[in-house]
Amino acid sequence: MLAVGKPVAILGRPSDQPGSPRRSLGKILAGLERGVNTRKTQTALETRISLVLALASQAFSQTQRVLGDLAAETAKYVIPRRFEPRNFEEALMAVPDLETVNFRVVKQTDQYVIREVEPYCVAETDMPGKNGFDFNGASQAFNVLAAYLFGKNTLSEQMEMTTPVYTRKVRSDGEKMDMTTPVITKQSGEKWQMSFVMPRKYGSNLPLPKDPSVTIKQVPGKTVAVTAFPGFVTDEDVKRRESKLRDALNNDAEFQVKRDAMVEVAQFNPPFTLPFTRRNEISLEVERRTI
253 burial type by CB count under 10 A (0-12 exposed, 13-18 middle, 19+ buried): exposed
The superfamily in CATH containing domain 88-288 is Regulatory factor, effector binding domain (3.20.80.10)
Q: List the pLDDT tens digit at each of the 291 positions of the chain.
A: 444 444 444 444 444 455 555 556 566 556 656 555 555 555 666 766 776 677 667 666 666 565 555 455 554 544 555 556 666 567 677 777 788 899 999 999 999 999 999 999 988 888 877 777 888 888 888 899 999 999 999 999 999 888 887 877 766 544 444 444 445 555 445 567 888 899 999 988 899 999 999 999 998 999 999 999 999 988 899 899 999 999 999 999 999 999 989 888 888 888 788 888 889 999 999 999 987
User: How many angstroms separate the CA atoms of 231 and 80, rounded?
Assistant: 17
Closest by Cα among 194, 209, 208, 282 to 245 = 282
Tell me how many degrees the CA angle 24-25-30 measures, rounded to the nearest 5.
100
User: How many angstroms separate the CA atoms of 99 and 122, rounded?
Assistant: 13
Question: For residue 241, how many other CB atoms are within 10 A of its CB?
Answer: 19
Predicted local confidence at residue 16, as pLDDT: 47
Domain ranges of the chain: 20-79, 88-288
Residues 6+ apart with CB under 8 A from 229: 89, 237, 241, 280, 281, 282
The 10 Å CB-count burial string (b at 16+, else e) for 154-191 is: eeeeebebbbbbbbbbbeeeeeebbbbbbbbbbbbeeb
Predicted local confidence at residue 211, as pLDDT: 96
Residues 6+ apart with CB under 8 A from 113: 86, 105, 107, 225, 226, 227
Predicted local confidence at residue 66, as pLDDT: 52
- Decide the pairing of beta strands 222-229 and 113-117: antiparallel
Predicted local confidence at residue 30, as pLDDT: 61
Q: What's the farthest any 2 CA atoms get from each other in the chain? A: 156
Closest by Cα among 269, 277, 270, 245 to 91 = 277
User: How many angstroms separate the CA atoms of 79 and 61, rounded?
Assistant: 26
